[in-house]
Structure formats: C-alpha cells, structure tokens
Chain A
Amino acid sequence: MIGEKVISAEKLTKRFGDFTAVDHITFDVVKGEIFGFLGANGAGKTTAMRMLCGLSLPTLGSAMVAGFDVYRQNELIKKNIGYMSQKFSLYEDLTIRENIRFYAGIYGLTDDKIKEKSNLLINRLNLAGQEKSLVRSLPLGWRQKLAFLIAIVHDPAIVFLDEPTGGVDPITRREFWELIYDASSKGITVFVTTHYMDEAEYCHRVSIMVDGRIDALDSPANLMKEYASSSMDGVFLQLARKALRMSD
C-alpha cells in the first residue's frame, strides 16, 4: 500500500514477567485504511492495541501513532485518536445529546462546535426527536452506531475499535460497516478487531495474530489465494490451529 503512514510498529513487544503477550510485531497502517486486527482470544490483540493507544508502555520495539511516539508522547496520541471498546461505552443514564456533549467536551471541542456536531450526528442516525431520551432506551444496535460516531466526533486521525459489533444483528452490522466506510472515505484510519470473519473481508488489509506474533498480513483476497481458501474463515482456522497458547 502506498500512502501516508499513520501507524508504524517496529518489533513492538510487551512482556509481563516471563510471559510475552506481544512478540516483535511489525506493521504499517496508512491514512484512510481499514485495518483488521484478527486473532483468537489470548493472541495478544488487546495488549497490542493498548500500547498503540498510549495506555500501556511497550517492553521493546518502537511505534509511532498519528505521528507521535508511544513512549514519550502518549498524551498527544490520546488527543488524536478515538476509541470504542467491546463493552458498551456510553452512559445509559444520560441522554443522547448529553453523551455527545460529554465525549466531545473532554476532547476539548468548543460549545459551538459541539452543537454543530451533535445536530449532524443526530441527523445521520435519524434520531431527531429522540435526542432527549436516555441512551438506556435505545436498542443495542443504535447504541453501537451512536458509540462509533461519538468515538470519531473530534475527527481523530485514527479510530480504534475493539470488537465493536459484538452481539449485534447482521442487518445492524451492515449499517455499522457503512459508517466505517464513511469515516474511512473522510480520511479517518480505522483499526478494528473482530471475531466475525465476514467482517474481516470488508477490511482493506488484515493481520492475523497467533501467540503474540503476526503470522499473516495482506488484503483478504490475497490471503484467501495464499491459503487456498474460499473464505477468511478458512484462512483464520488454518493459522489459529497452529496456536500453542491456551485461549482464555
């Protein structure tokens, strides 16, 4: 891939005592790319992602995220990324508008900007008229879509999505991916982990982690050719079977 690199990891490693959670991973992600970060439970995805988000310091190796060093500039990284976790991450006892206000506010958006963004976002999700109802009353699919749009409300360079579509029905997942494509076309890089292999096929490129290493990294089409499989599911199973580590 050619383009401006927004994430570049070089032999990035994290050890907890004797245990090497992430083992010398090297990869680049370019601007606007949708990068799938795959791996079985316990393969080290979350640990790698935490290092890239500035939540955890690497043991070895180097990484630049949005142009900043993960060792020394993690506060700057935090300002330039968005994050949405597998766990539902909006406040159920606040209204839709209050949630947008809060998350936009802690990223330092001005009041005018927050108002403008809120209206845009509410219209995008067809939630006009409901903005004063509590998030608790929204169906799960809507909440996840809202959470995603809130995660990019401050126009970050990169958005990290940690299993964003867990427990969501197929139709809503489709809609969710439309939002992801939308963000990508606006130049926001999307770094996403998922368990759904059909979703992996939506990504521009995917990496597959096994036992803390990246064992495969290419576009879905190339990977399926290389592993002689008709789906990403087949590719993933061939690689994941090699794992020695117990999943948790």
Chain B
Amino acid sequence: MITTPVAREKVYTMSQFYIFVKKECLHIWRDRRTLFILVWMPIVQIILYGFALTNEVKNSRIAILDQSKDDATTAISNEIAASRYFNLVKNLHSYRDIDATFKQGLIRMAIVFPRNFQYDLLHSNRAQVQIIADASDPNTANTLTNYATAIINDYQLSLNNNEQLPYTIKTQLRMLYNPELKGAYNFVPGVMALVLMLVCAMMTSMAIVKEKEMGTMEVILVSPLRPFWIIIAKTIPYLLVSVLNIACILLLSVFVLGVPITGNLGLLIWESVLFTVTSLSIGILISNGAKTQQAAMFTSMMSLFLPTLLFSGFLFPVENMPVALQVISNVVPAKWYYIIVKSVMIKGLGFFAVWKETLILVGMTLILLFISISKFKIRLA
C-alpha cells in the first residue's frame, strides 16, 4: 500500500496530539488536590448559593409593640407570627424597648400598634400602624416591610369582605417563569458562568505557565509538535472537566434545587461548550503574559472572577448601573452567557431568542483565539 507523504504526516500529528492530551490528563489526575477542587467547587457553590446565600427572606426575627391589645391587633399579630417570613421573638412593652432591641441586634423589624387601634379602625377610619425596619440592609428592609404591609392589607380586605367597596382596583400578580420566586432560578445560571470561567481560564493559564516555569515548554517547542497543537492539546482536558461540571450543575439544579430545564437541553449544552471555549481562549491569552503560576492565577482572579461576579448581572442588575459600567459590562463574556442560560433554561426560549447573544460570544471567542494563538507564535520567533 502506498501512502502519500501528506497523509502520513497527518497520522503522525494525530498520534502525537493524542499522546500530548494523555499526558495532560495524567497531570490533572496526579494532582488530586486540584482535581478535587475542580469537581467539588461547582457542587459546593451550587449548594451554597442555592440554600445559604439566598436573597429570599425567611424567618426574620421581629418584635411587636401592641399598645391596644384588642381583637384587631391580636388577629394581625397572629397572622404575622404564623407567616413563614417572620419569626416573632419578642413582645415589647414600651417605645424605649424598640430602640434597645434593635441595638442588641435581636430583630430586623418592629411593628407598633397605637392605643385604641380597633376603635380607630372601625369608627374613625384612621387606624395607624407603624413598621420600623433595620435598613442597614436596604433590600431586606424593603422586602420585610412589603410582606408586613401585604398581611395587614389582607386583614383589611377580610374585614370589608361583605360590603363591596364602590371603587376598587384589584391587582392580579403573576410571576412568570419562576412562580415561587426562588432565588435559585437566578443563581444557577450565574454559578454556571462563574465556574466555567474559573475552571477553564484559570486552570488552563496555570497549566501552560507551569510548563514555562518547569522548563519543559522549551523542550516541547524544540520538538516537531506544532505550537498550535500544543495549545489545543493543553486545553482539551479542561474542556472535558468543564463538560463534567456542566452536567453536575444541571443535575443538582434539577434534582436538588428544583430548578427545571424548561428549554432545549441540547441547545443549553452547546451554548455552554461555546462559553467554555471562550473561557479557554482567555486562559491561553493570560498564559502568554504571565511568567509564573501565581501571576497567572492572580491575573485570572482579578480580570475574570470579579468582572464575572459584578457584571454578569447575576448579583447586581446591570440595568441599574451607571451608563459607563453598563458599557463595560458588554465586554464581559459571562454577561452574554448568563442571558443565554436564563433564556434557554429558565424561560424555555429557543435559539431564535438568543442568536444575537450567541453571535456575540462566537465573535469574542474568535477574536480571543486569534490574538492568543498568534501571540503564542510571535513569542517563538
């Protein structure tokens, strides 16, 4: 059989490539501590964000100062105490107690019923109730006062049940995509972006810089392996780890956090692989500049972790930021991935809803790959 030189060259390159990928997997396998972190970090993050770091308000400690002690105040107090949002820890006896209890840090909110509450309610139509909240955490304070107001309004409605008021506007609320207002619906896409970014970019950049530090890069560069294939071979194992991470996160979110995948699973996975490649190319870019593994880690942390956290929109809504920051947020790849995951996974939208975001990610990836690989070649000359 006659094989052309070109064909033989190709086979030769593929087996070299395969050997390189195998070596790279051995590195990861031997470094058990890092492997452990790689596999557990996403799991721990999902569980942490899903259960502990939720922005839902539950069982907030409150106190009530009831100066009226009539049927109405008792009924409202009972309603509030029974609510899952509140945990009534103290009945206060004077105004001075309120301040003291807040200062001790015992409560986040206090409700004050003045004297003759029921009388005012039924006769003068001027009943007043005071809600005092600890606004050192403004979001929580807002949420708590809304809940309390809603409970009081409910009670008022129940009083008027028999006699229809002449003019009423009834607001009907429907919470789309996330009827139970679960925080996990927000966090799962965010954690996916964060984990993929960290695993791919940080680990790849460190793996490449490690070869430079050890002096093995020089030997490989003198070998017949082409630089392009060296780079690709170094990233493949991390691509595989990322796919494993994506699977873990999705399984956890469906079966543990109860966040369903409403959209197309295949589309979600392909978008995630795309974002993984974006992150890998950022990792290669970082490795071009960094001389030590610490430098690579630090650069990844500063240039990826924080922007991903701040600008992806998963902790802070981007629309609320000053225009300058909104503009900056557009160059953070995680922002686009976050939008895609939310649309596909939570809202159940198809490719036509996210093609623009996908195109932006593809564009970013191509630019990053082009810069990082051509820079890698220049370094050789």
Asked if A91 is at the interface of the complex by the 8 Å CB criterion, the answer is: yes
Q: How many A-B residue pairs have CB under 8 A?
A: 76
Least distance between B217 CB and chain A CB atoms (Å): 9
A194 CA to B12 CA, complexed, in Å:
35
**Which of B20-28, B67-75, B171-179 lies at the interface with chain A?**
B20-28
Give the residues in chain A near B320, CB-CB below 8 Å: none
The reply to whether A102 and B23 contact each other, CB–CB distance below 8 Å, is yes
8 A-B pairs with the lowest CB-CB distances in the bound complex, closest first: A87-B215, A105-B19, A83-B222, A93-B30, A89-B219, A79-B224, A78-B224, A102-B23
Give the residues in chain B near A91, CB-CB below 8 Å: 23, 27, 214, 216
The reply to whether A106 and B20 contact each other, CB–CB distance below 8 Å, is yes
The reply to whether B16 and A106 contact each other, CB–CB distance below 8 Å, is yes
Asked if B325 is at the interface of the complex by the 8 Å CB criterion, the answer is: no
Give the residues in chain A near B380, CB-CB below 8 Å: 55-56
One digit per residue, 1 when the CB lies within 8 angstroms of any chain B CB and 0 when it does not, for chain A 81-108 equals: 1011111111111100010011101111
- CB-contacts of A27-54 with B (<8 A): 53-54
**Chain B interface residue bracket vs A:** 20 to 34
Give the residues in chain B near A107, CB-CB below 8 Å: 223-224
With beta carbons under 8 angstroms apart, the residue of A55, A105, A108 that contacts B222 is A55
Give the interface SS of chain B, mostly helix, strand, loop or mixed. Answer: helix
Asked if B137 is at the interface of the complex by the 8 Å CB criterion, the answer is: no
Asked if B218 is at the interface of the complex by the 8 Å CB criterion, the answer is: yes
Of chain B, the residue at the smallest CB distance from A54 is B222
Listed A/B pairs (10) with beta-carbon separation below 8 Å: A79-B224, A85-B219, A89-B214, A89-B215, A94-B26, A94-B27, A105-B19, A107-B223, A108-B12, A134-B30
Give the residues in chain B near A78, CB-CB below 8 Å: 222-224
The reply to whether A84 and B224 contact each other, CB–CB distance below 8 Å, is no
Given A53-B222, A85-B219, decide whether A92 and B214 contact each other with a Cβ distance below 8 A: yes
Of chain B, the residue at the smallest CB distance from A76 is B224
Of chain B, the residue at the smallest CB distance from A83 is B222
A106 CA to B16 CA, complexed, in Å:
5
One digit per residue, 1 when the CB lies within 8 angstroms of any chain A CB and 0 when it does not, for chain B 20-59 equals: 1001001100110000000000000000000000000000
The reply to whether B15 and A88 contact each other, CB–CB distance below 8 Å, is no
Asked if A57 is at the interface of the complex by the 8 Å CB criterion, the answer is: yes
A89 CA to B223 CA, complexed, in Å:
13
Of chain B, the residue at the smallest CB distance from A110 is B15
The reply to whether A83 and B224 contact each other, CB–CB distance below 8 Å, is no
Give the residues in chain A near B31, CB-CB below 8 Å: 93
Asked if A75 is at the interface of the complex by the 8 Å CB criterion, the answer is: yes
The reply to whether B215 and A105 contact each other, CB–CB distance below 8 Å, is no
The reply to whether B16 and A105 contact each other, CB–CB distance below 8 Å, is yes
A94 CA to B25 CA, complexed, in Å:
11
Asked if B381 is at the interface of the complex by the 8 Å CB criterion, the answer is: yes
Asked if B220 is at the interface of the complex by the 8 Å CB criterion, the answer is: yes
A89 CA to B369 CA, complexed, in Å:
28
Give the residues in chain B near A88, CB-CB below 8 Å: 214-215
- CB-contacts of A118-156 with B (<8 A): 134, 151
With beta carbons under 8 angstroms apart, the residue of A83, A98, A105 that contacts B218 is A83
The reply to whether B27 and A106 contact each other, CB–CB distance below 8 Å, is no
A54 CA to B254 CA, complexed, in Å:
54
Seed contacts A78-B224, A83-B219; 9 additional CB < 8 Å A-B pairs:
A75-B224, A78-B222, A86-B215, A93-B30, A98-B23, A103-B223, A106-B16, A106-B20, A106-B224
Given A89-B214, A91-B214, A105-B16, decide whether A98 and B224 contact each other with a Cβ distance below 8 A: no
Give the residues in chain B near A102, CB-CB below 8 Å: 19-20, 23
Given A89-B219, A102-B23, A106-B19, decide whether A57 and B381 contact each other with a Cβ distance below 8 A: yes
Asked if B225 is at the interface of the complex by the 8 Å CB criterion, the answer is: yes
The reply to whether A84 and B219 contact each other, CB–CB distance below 8 Å, is yes
Least distance between A72 CB and chain B CB atoms (Å): 15
A190 CA to B159 CA, complexed, in Å:
100
A134 CA to B29 CA, complexed, in Å:
13
A87 CA to B212 CA, complexed, in Å:
10
Give the residues in chain A near B23, CB-CB below 8 Å: 91, 94, 98, 102
Of chain B, the residue at the smallest CB distance from A57 is B381
Give the residues in chain B near A83, CB-CB below 8 Å: 218-219, 222-223
With beta carbons under 8 angstroms apart, the residue of B27, B222, B226 that contacts A93 is B27
**Interface hub of B16, B23, B27, B221 (most chain A Cβ within 10 A):** B23
A87 CA to B26 CA, complexed, in Å:
22
One digit per residue, 1 when the CB lies within 8 angstroms of any chain A CB and 0 when it does not, for chain B 221-250 equals: 111111000000000000000000000000
Of chain A, the residue at the smallest CB distance from B218 is A85
- CB-contacts of B329-363 with A (<8 A): none
The reply to whether A98 and B381 contact each other, CB–CB distance below 8 Å, is no
Least distance between A76 CB and chain B CB atoms (Å): 9
Given A94-B26, A105-B19, A108-B15, decide whether A85 and B215 contact each other with a Cβ distance below 8 A: yes
A211 CA to B223 CA, complexed, in Å:
29
**Interface hub of A54, A88, A89, A101 (most chain B Cβ within 10 A):** A89
Give the residues in chain A near B218, CB-CB below 8 Å: 83, 85, 87, 89
A98 CA to B381 CA, complexed, in Å:
30
The reply to whether B26 and A56 contact each other, CB–CB distance below 8 Å, is no
Of chain A, the residue at the smallest CB distance from B211 is A91
A87 CA to B220 CA, complexed, in Å:
13
